[in-house]
Structure 1
């Protein structure tokens, strides 16, 4: 029972992050399952089965709050489903010993990207409402779907920053569209795993616990997407993913430094960098907010002066 409660809390927390940031449900959940020794293919299958329900609920919630661009959903979601099915097939044919460090490397890369992307860079807004071309969305969907299935997560970490960086869609619609299209990806990946490995190693009680936690969080996250600064949340989540997967790699046969001083020093150094990144993001966000307020005050003052100077 404690394990099921933990899974439900993980599902709730992961969906709160995913629904408000457009990423990290799969990466966060898969990282936990790998950390407790779950077979990589089974871990990814477990997460994707739960995501069928959570992404459906998240998509409906985002749609109700007006956060979805349906053209983007279809153009990125369909190729994403193809990539996810292929990725599930590839991961299912790797041995457990080979797949664990490989999967951790994928998750580590995604976590590092999140940490750097959201700590050091802001979001472009000067190109919003320009069209997103199919020649951009199709390969993006294929790559993100493949990474998502092989890494146990990655649809959001690949898709959301790419769309945000394009500056052609307002952030809330990027997050809502990526979350909604993820339903197709989760469904295709789940089918790929079930065809390849059946239900071997999949704990359906864990699937249900992750699903229930995600269902509770989905509508809350869709509302929070307008209120939580993505920059701060991205830095926080990226740090967790980097720290956890570095620990997994250090303890793998590839490195073999489990329970050594090197392991402790490495994890401590990463924790310090992570804390500094979050502090940096908070300060950058506050500076951006202060600059926006100053610009608004200046604009209001200029307008008032112009009105006062207008002859009666």
Structure 2
């Protein structure tokens, strides 16, 4: 029963991250499952099985909160579903060792994407320029769906920053639209894994724990989207994902000397903590500046 409770807590934390930042549930959940020794294809299948109810509740919660653009939702979700189905079929047909290296590498990359975006204000994934929004939506969806299925996560890190670039929506609406579209992608990816018989061996007790925690937290996260200090949160999440999957890769390569292992661990903990603190200070300064600017605008007399 403690395993169920632990995964319920993990699911709640992962959904809180995803619902407020627009990314993180799949990356976080797949990282935990891989670290516990679950096979890559099973980890991705389990993560997407957990996403079915959590993304449904999250999407509905964001829709009720007015955070969803229906037109963009359809134009991203349908291509994302096609890319996700293809990615699931590909993952079920490659060797276990290749899949493990591929997934761990992807998760390290997406952890770095999250860390760079929120901690450093940099985008590691090339994003399209402003203008011609409709032209970019289908490619964004296809790429997001494919890497989401093959990496166990990645929909949010690909789609959220891309939509922030090609649309003029405020962050909460981009997060809400990305979360709502993810349900359609999760359905398609799960169908792809069923086609490849990846449902065998899924650890259903952890999956149910992820579902319970995610479903409970999803409405809360939707309400808080855009209101929390997202930069330090994203920085710490990205650093943690890089750390855990980096350890997995090092073990797969045969390990390193103990002194180097502890040195890398210390660096991987200290650097994200320092960057997160600086990101929090910068975000606080920006919010103070916005409040001062709003107050100044209200004091300017209107022309007669």
TM-score scaled to structure 2, two decimals?
Answer: 0.93
CA RMSD of aligned residues (A): 1.8
Aligned residues of 1:68 and 1:177 also touching (Cα < 8 A): yes
Counterpart for residue 81 of structure 1: 81
Q: Please, which moves more after superposition, 142-151 or 189-198?
A: 189-198
Check the 8 A contact 1:140/1:159 in 2, yes or no: yes
Partner of 2:41: 41
User: d(CA) in 2 for partners of 1:137 and 1:229?
Assistant: 28
Deviations 1:110-146 (A, max 9, x none): 11011111122289xxxxxx87622201000000000
1:289 CA drift (Å)? 1.1
1:272 to 2:270 alignment? yes
Identify which of 284, 287, 290 aligns with 1:286: 284
Q: State the secondary structure of the residue aligned to 2:196.
A: helix
SS in 2 for 1:197: coil
| Partner residue in 2 for 1:227 | 227
Distance 1:165 1:134, change over 3 A: closer
Kindly name which structure, 1 or 2, has the bigger radius of gyration based on alpha carbons. 1
Q: Which moved more, 1:53-62 or 1:203-212?
A: 203-212
Name the CA distance, whole Å, in 1 between partners of 2:97 and 2:35.
14
Shift of 1:260: 2.4
Question: Where do residues 91-240 of structure 1 align in structure 2 (5 Å cutoff)?
Answer: 91-121=91-121, 133-166=133-166, 168-240=168-240
With over 3 angstroms needed to count, the CA separation of the structure-2 counterparts of 1:248 and 1:122, relative to structure 1, is closer
State the Cα distance separating 1:198 from its structure 2 match. 4.1
Q: Distance in 2 between matches of 1:38 and 1:122?
A: 32
Partner SS for 1:153:
coil
What's the TM-score once normalised by structure 1's chain length?
0.91
Helix, strand or coil: the match of 1:251?
Answer: helix
Q: Is the 8 A contact 2:40 2:99 kept in 1?
A: yes
For residue 37 of structure 1, report the CA deviation from its aligned partner.
0.2
Instruction: Note the residue ranges of structure 1 that are not aligned, 5 or more in a row.
Output: 124-129
2:45–2:198 contact (8 Å) kept in structure 1: no
After superposing the two structures, state which structure 1 stretch, 69-78 or 198-207, moved more.
198-207
The 8 Å contact of residues 42 and 198 in structure 2, kept in 1 or not, is answered as no
Deviates more, 1:54-63 or 1:112-121: 112-121
Shift of 1:287: 1.4
- Equivalent residue pairs, number: 298
Is 1:67–1:173's contact at 8 Å kept on the other side of the alignment?
Answer: yes
Instruction: List structure 1 segments (4+ residues) > 6 angstroms apart after TM superposition.
Output: none
Query: For the Cα contact (< 8 Å) 1:26–1:152, is it kept in 2?
Result: yes
Query: 1:71 is matched with which residue?
Result: 71
Please tell me whether residue 300 in structure 1 is matched to residue 298 in structure 2. Answer: yes
Structure-1 separation of matches of 2:4 and 2:216? 15
